[in-house]
Each structure stands twice: as structure tokens, then as C-alpha cells.
Structure 1
């Protein structure tokens, strides 16, 4: 080696510039291997991690914030945490740049939300909020219509992004963002599309179940949470130490290998345990299938209101007649044929009629009915109306009993009817009530709606009863009837009345996924009127377009 003196500075600092012809090191084999490795690689490209820490924190914070503010409030909503295995699986799918859910093998055990955009920057939180905003098209289903399964209650194009976010038992989320150079989005090719994939576990959106149970926040948390609650969410402190994030975890130098295939990382799925069986609660409104026939389901005095599922338009169940339908007809398809319902399903009132000599076919609203030239029993269908009540309205004023039957609207009771004086809002009877009683105050007496919140009520007048027994319940004193002050003769039949069925236990979330059962109807034995109360909260006042009390 030869060295040439280059310059000298005043402080005697000498800089040497050396020309090297070669060198020798004893461990040359190892160094050659390292050098050869990097010489063969292509130049490094700078790529981002699956998702930056700031985006991850925004996504997780927003999920828990939205889960804690659902309306009606959730009694069993659990706190959500970030899962790195879900993040890895989301990153693998995001790098595929395929605008559909996947991979198929993973979807059996996880839930998944997708979003894509191009152009100006949008944070992942923007897409999470847009998923949640589907709530405007979603009507929360209450236990009343979950018998045994819950109907679909989405009036918009899609609500499943929202329901996955607020699925109570989904406790883990992991997301990834990838910029796709060219991505086919519904037939259009987007360049530099930003693709967001979020995976969830345990998965939600089970058919026939509601996303959460409604009630006082944290009142039905799993026992593993030890009663701890944070921002309306079942919460427990994490005991493990999270790995600190280094600079290399956010942005790294790496060379992608074209031949490399992503390995789908399937997260450990914690499946919820089956709910304990409770004694069944019968309701006036019967949940039926698309192929349920009137003659098979209509028994007793309560067969006048039915809950039809979605998707009956293209069912093959037959209907006979027009306007008047033969009793062997499908209830739900007859309702679509008549124009009472559409393919989204809903409530329908049914009136039984006498025998009709024949039934004429027709095609209406996409449903073809069949002719039948034989005398048979018939029925008609009508739309269920909704009406707001005050604390003083009685059944006698709302819809007095008329033979063969009367269809009352579904009514919404206000809060604080218990405080109204008895001379304005009387209550006569216990369990079975006179139709001169205040509907809403009677509901409080029976304990099937709360005085602080009110609720929805189904009313069905039937025949008469002579006497009613008074009692003190839930802070409301009912009176007996007949009573001398009423001016009624005991020898004569007393006024008509109504029956309140108490919901003594909250129905748990159903474990069945696709099974559909019509459920049992409530048979009235000498009950003048059935008043089926649907539990609700004050937040339900906003649900004017969809006043249905369905699954939980």
C-alpha cells in the first residue's frame, strides 16, 4: 500500500489519501457470501409496514368510541383490542389488490370490512366512520321479533359493515393499508388505489342474531370482565406487556421477492359459548317463514299479526286467490301480492273470513297467485300502522272490539305515565285488564315497560270478561271491576278488556345461524285483549319509520 501526503493544516492534522490495489483477509469466504447476496439482489424499494402506529391507534380508538355510543345502548358490548395476527392476515390480503372479501379459507373464522379510495388523502378513520354511518339504514331488532331468530332490518343497500363494528362479542381487530398500482373496482381500473382491509375476531354478522343486547351499559358483561366497565364497554386491564415499536417496524428497507407467496395467518378464534336456555316467552306477533300457510299457523284468538322475513318474493310457496286468499296460501307471499309488504319483509295483519266459493288467480307485485274453484276458508291481509299515544288513551277509545276481529295499530307509549292520577288514567284488573284502562299506565303496572322510558305496544281486542282483580304492582295501584262507581250491573257483561304478557326474562342471543322457526302463538283463554309490550328505551323515539321491536 502506498500513501501520498495530501495537505497539512495549522494544527498538525494530516489527511492521508491512500490508493489501494488489493487486500487480504483470512475470513474472505464469509464476506464473499455476504457480498454476493447483496450483489444479486435488485435495488431496494422503500415500502411501508402493514399500517403505521398512528393509523392503528386511530382505528382502534374510533372502533371503541363508536361501540360505546350505540343507540339503543348495549348491555354486553365488549372493549376491542388490536391483534397483530389479524393485522398480518389483513396485510396479506391487501397486497393481493383484489376488490372482494378473502381469502375464502380465512373467512370462515373472521369477519372482514373493506374500503378503497384514490385521489386525495383519506385517513383509515374516514372509512371506519363511513362503515359505521350505515346505522342510518339499520333498525335495531328487539327480542319481540327474535322468536327464535331475528329478521333482517336494513333499509339501505348494506348495513353489515356497521353491524360488524358493533358486534358485541367481536373483541379483536387488525387492519392493513396497501397502495395498489392498478386495481379493478367493479369493472373500473383504479390507479394508485389505497386499499384498507380490517379483519375481526370472533366474527360477527351471524344470520338471525342481533349485533348486541340492549339495556343498561355493562349490565350483561361476561363474568370474565369482573364487573369492570369503561366508556360503556365491558373492559379489563391487559396483563401482557406489548412489544415496543421501533423505527424499523414502521418503515423498513426490503426487497420484495416476486415468487414469495403470502401465508394466510389464521387468528385464534374464540367462539362464544352457547347461551343458557330460558323458559320461552310467547308474544302476540308470530314470526313465520316464507312458506308458512295460514291454515297451519292460525290457531286461537291471537292469529292476527305476523312477522315475515326478507326474501319471500322469489320463494316457491303458493298462494290462491286475489284480495281474498285461500287458507292454504303463504301468509308472507300473500302480503307481497296484495302490496302490504315488499321483499324486505315486515309486519302484516291477517283477518280470517268465512268460506269463499272460488279463488281467482292474478299477478301482482311480482307474485303469481293460483286459481282454485272450490269453496274454502279465506283471509285478507292489511298493513300494520303505528300511532303515538298519551297516558290517557284507552282501548275502548283506540279500537273497540268488533266481531270477527279488530286490528289495532302498533302504539308507542310515552314515559312517566305512572305519575298520572287514576281519575285521568285508571287501571282496572291484574294481568287481564278492562278496556277502560289507560293502555300505557297499565303496561307499567304489568311491568313489561319501564315508567322512565315507555315503549311499543301491540293491542288486540277480543271478547268480554265480567270481573277484574285489583293489585299494587310497580308503583301502580289497579282497581277491581265492576265497581259501584262505574254504574255497571253485575248481572250484565262487563266492559271488554285486555291482557298484558310480562317479559320476565331477557331472551339471549340465538345460537342458530340459518334455522327458521315460526314460533308458538299465545293462546288466550277468556282474555279480553292481548297487549304485547315491547321493551325499549327513550332513544327509540327516533325510530319513526321502522317502529319494530325485534331481535337483540
Structure 2
């Protein structure tokens, strides 16, 4: 009998191009497959067609962006997958990236493993549901661990993904590791913005220079923000001295990824 297990955690990393995706055995078709799986599911959610257990649907999403593939994230994911340990990596190992894990006891190959992982992670929504969705509340809460893989896939601010796959014959299992930037699943933060799927470029407002894929109801942008601090220098220097720039700090998402990107050397 084949056994499938899942696991997840939160955190964040930097962008890279397909051209340096040279570490793992994944093919470009594999990378496109897992990227498309995420975007297909995000499109279903944006259009208000994501199933809940009671036959109803999750609230539709405005400002939902496509994910794109990131080779730095892939390299980290593949390095960890090759350890053949089905437990989460440390925050330092993944430089603060979000992390979803999947395991099957069969040697099912990369393509099947990637598709099954995406289907299993997203399937948590229909299997378990989210109570707040009935009132259009998409706030992530500490009691949502049963749907944590889904929420990471649906997290609106997670727009980069990179994955690794490894067959582990000594402890027979195929492991999938997917890392996300920016990390999701922060308590009391919104999973996504409730609203209508985009129908024009003007409705994609989260990132400058955005466009709307009207057929998918998803936004996209190639905009790269300047490497700068949003908070005053004295504040960033104090936070850096206090250790808030470290990816193990609970303040890392706010300080290093948002307010003090230049001081924390996170851009």
C-alpha cells in the first residue's frame, strides 16, 4: 500500500532565473508543471470556484498574482530533499523561505510526485474547510494547521516557488519539497484579499507595472523594487543590532523583508 504524508512551515528567499536551474534532476517540464499546478489552483480560487466541504465555495480573490519559478528556491529545496528526512528544515537552511513537504512510499517519479503533491496540498481545503470563509474572513489563525499546505499555496504574497524531488531507497519514499517567497501562514495576516478576480490591468494593484491575465483572473508583474529601507535609518540600525535581521527572528518578515531590506541585506 502506498502511503502519502504532508507537512509545512513558513519563511522567504531571493529571485533567480531559469538559466541557473542546473542543480537538480528536474526537467523544465517538471518546473512548468508544478508552477502551472499552483497557478491553475490560484485561478480557481480567484474565480470563486474553490470547493469547500459543504458544497459551497471559498470567497473569490482580488489581487491574486501568478507564481513564477525560482532557481535559488529549487536549489535549496533539492539540497534538503536529498537528505531523505521527512521533517522540516531549519529556518537557516531555507533562508526564511516558506516550505511545503509531501511524501509517498512509492518510487513514483518526478512528474507524478509534483502533481500529487500539489493536488494533496490544495485538497485540504475541500477536505477540512476554513470556518471563517463562510463570512469572507481569510485571516490565517493558529488553528489552521490542517489546511496549512493549502494556505501556503493560496497565500497572495507568495509569488515565487522552487521545488526538489528525491527518491530515497533506504527508507523507501519519494519526497517533494517546495519553498515559497514570500513565506505565508503568518498568524493574523490575510491569506488573500477577498474580491472579484481581475478583469483588467487596473485591478492589479499590489505590485507596480502589473498586468491581468483575464482568462485566469490572475495578475502578474516583472517589477523589481529598489533596494531601499522603508523605515528611518536609526530604526533599521537598532533592529539590526537587536538581531531582527536574522531569518530566525520572529521579526524577520516585517523588518528584513519589508521595512529594512537594504540594512538587512535582504535585497
Normalised-by-shorter TM-score class: 0.5 to 0.7
Once the two structures are superposed, the pairs formed by residues 432-443 of structure 1 within 5 Å of their partners are none
| Residue ranges of structure 2 left out of the alignment (5+ in a row) | 1-22, 46-57, 225-252, 260-267
2:60 is aligned to 73
1:117 shift after superposition: 1.3
**2:27 counterpart of 1:52:** yes
1:236 is aligned to 221
Once the two structures are superposed, the pairs formed by residues 84-123 of structure 1 within 5 Å of their partners are 84-107=71-94, 109-119=96-106, 121=108, 122-123=112-113
Which string of whole-angstrom CA distances, capped at 9 and with x for unpartnered residues, describes residues 456-477 of structure 1?
A: xxxxxxxxxxxxxxxxxxxxxx
SS at the partner of 1:161?
Answer: helix
1:208 is aligned to 188
For the residues of structure 2 that align with 1:165 and 1:152, how far apart are their CA atoms? 17
2:206 is aligned to 222
1:72 shift after superposition: 1.5
1:469 is aligned to none
1:85 shift after superposition: 0.3
Given that 1:166 and 1:211 are in contact with CA atoms closer than 8 Å, whether structure 2 keeps it comes out as yes
Given that 1:77 and 1:221 are in contact with CA atoms closer than 8 Å, whether structure 2 keeps it comes out as no
For the residues of structure 2 that align with 1:50 and 1:160, how far apart are their CA atoms? 28
Given that 1:169 and 1:272 are in contact with CA atoms closer than 8 Å, whether structure 2 keeps it comes out as no
**2:156 counterpart of 1:168:** yes
For the residues of structure 2 that align with 1:213 and 1:133, how far apart are their CA atoms? 21
For the residues of structure 1 that align with 2:103 and 2:219, how far apart are their CA atoms? 32
For the residues of structure 1 that align with 2:99 and 2:210, how far apart are their CA atoms? 29
1:223 shift after superposition: 4.2
Pair 1:144–1:220, CA change in 2 (3 A): farther
For the residues of structure 2 that align with 1:76 and 1:100, how far apart are their CA atoms? 33
Pair 1:237–1:140, CA change in 2 (3 A): farther
Which string of whole-angstrom CA distances, capped at 9 and with x for unpartnered residues, describes residues 125-144 of structure 1?
A: 11111100001212263697
SS at the partner of 1:224?
Answer: coil
TM-score normalised per structure 1: 0.31
Which string of whole-angstrom CA distances, capped at 9 and with x for unpartnered residues, describes residues 75-123 of structure 1?
A: 1211100000000000110111111110331456210011111235233
Pair 1:142–1:134, CA change in 2 (3 A): closer
SS at the partner of 1:113?
Answer: strand
Given that 1:76 and 1:222 are in contact with CA atoms closer than 8 Å, whether structure 2 keeps it comes out as yes
For the residues of structure 2 that align with 1:51 and 1:102, how far apart are their CA atoms? 20
1:50 shift after superposition: 3.8
Given that 1:225 and 1:234 are in contact with CA atoms closer than 8 Å, whether structure 2 keeps it comes out as no
For the residues of structure 1 that align with 2:177 and 2:163, how far apart are their CA atoms? 5
1:210 shift after superposition: 2.6
SS at the partner of 1:179?
Answer: strand
Pair 1:119–1:169, CA change in 2 (3 A): same
Pair 1:77–1:59, CA change in 2 (3 A): same
Pair 1:132–1:225, CA change in 2 (3 A): farther
Pair 1:75–1:178, CA change in 2 (3 A): same
1:271 is aligned to 257
Which string of whole-angstrom CA distances, capped at 9 and with x for unpartnered residues, describes residues 341-363 of structure 1?
A: xxxxxxxxxxxxxxxxxxxxxxx
1:222 shift after superposition: 1.3
Given that 2:165 and 2:175 are in contact with CA atoms closer than 8 Å, whether structure 1 keeps it comes out as yes
| Residue ranges of structure 1 left out of the alignment (5+ in a row) | 1-47, 183-189, 240-268, 274-552
**2:176 counterpart of 1:196:** yes
Say what the alpha-carbon RMSD is for the aligned residues: 3.1
Given that 2:113 and 2:176 are in contact with CA atoms closer than 8 Å, whether structure 1 keeps it comes out as no
Pair 1:203–1:237, CA change in 2 (3 A): closer
For the residues of structure 2 that align with 1:64 and 1:86, how far apart are their CA atoms? 17
1:153 shift after superposition: 6.1
Higher RCO (Cα < 8 Å, 6 or more apart)? 2
